[in-house]
Amino acid sequence: MGSSIDNQQWVSERFILMPLSFYKKPGLVVYVTCGDPDLATTRAVVLAAIEAGADVMELGVPFSDPVADGPVIQRASERALKNGTSLAQVLTLAAEVRQQAQSTGLVVFSYLNPILRMGMEKFCMVARHAGVDGVLVTDLPVEEAGEYLRAMKANDLAPIFLAAPTSPDVRLKRIAEASRGFVYAVSRTGVTGARQQVESDAQKLVLRLRRITKLPVAVGFGVSNTDQFAQVGRFADAVVVGSAIVQTIEQNPGREAKAVGKFVRELSAVSSQPSVPVS
């Protein structure tokens, strides 16, 4: 009986303090490829980004065939894999970060294969105990996610799905119903990577999602500077910055954490409006 009550209390406290909420507008989601250039540097980069104002950190699991990613993240994955970076090490990193950052959201961003190799139930259990809040599996369609969703629910983890401009409304509704925390709206079709301008499809997609769900909508794929961050922040609840962060790491050997901290601080300065989190 005591064990059950303790667990209920843990779940209650977890959702009262739900780190996947955005308390300013726009919220800032920062992606890193773990293990690039090494795990110690990744840890320093993540903590620097959190200190500089990141609301949610996406911990990218390097993968040998990252078909959804552009050349910047592909190179980062190659470097991380050469270092032997594994999913288990990413989860250990998450636990280390959680010890130092209690209120920042932690999301594991992975392809499906590394999770299947670990085992779905084991992965979810370890992720929960590491202090992870949510998981985004980039190549898992919501239509095939039954086992994944059951394991996520059993471990109080938030499944986050990608919504694309090409998705019909019926599929967007299914994605929104399966998602927790927030919905990740892809600003365009194609692979990740910084762009000179943000496509208008992103705003249309956010408007479509708002008619379907009350969950916050985070827009990613292509945001690379403060102007674009502000532009997307006018219509989205949060903005995901990935390739620009990974590129900053790549271009600043020996001073990765300092450079990322400076960049994130510039982005965070744009987020001036308080935002009421959506439960």
- Whether residue 190 contacts residue 167, with contact meaning beta carbons closer than 8 Å, is answered with no
Distance of CA 151 to the CA centre of its chain: 19
- Residue 256 is a catalytic residue: no
Could you give the CA distance from residue 276 to residue 279 in angstroms, rounded to a whole number?
9
Residues in the chain: 279
Cis geometry, peptide bond prior to residue 37 (ω within 30 degrees of 0) = yes
Tokens of 49: 């980004």
Provide the CB-side half-sphere exposure for 223 (13 A, CA): 30
From the candidates 55, 58, 133, 256, give the one annotated as an active-site residue.
58
- Whether residue 219 contacts residue 199, with contact meaning beta carbons closer than 8 Å, is answered with no
Strand partners, 219: 185, 239
- Residue 69 is a catalytic residue: yes
- Mode of pairing for the β-strands spanning 134-137 and 217-220: unpaired
Distance of CA 53 to the CA centre of its chain: 15
Sheet-wide strand order for 162-163: 158-160, 134-137, 105-110, 56-60, 27-33, 238-241, 217-220, 183-186, 162-163
Q: Hunting for tokens 């320093």 — which residue is that? A: 44
From the candidates 36, 69, 133, 256, give the one annotated as an active-site residue.
69
Q: Hunting for tokens 């949060």 — which residue is that? A: 238
Residues annotated as part of the active site: 58, 69
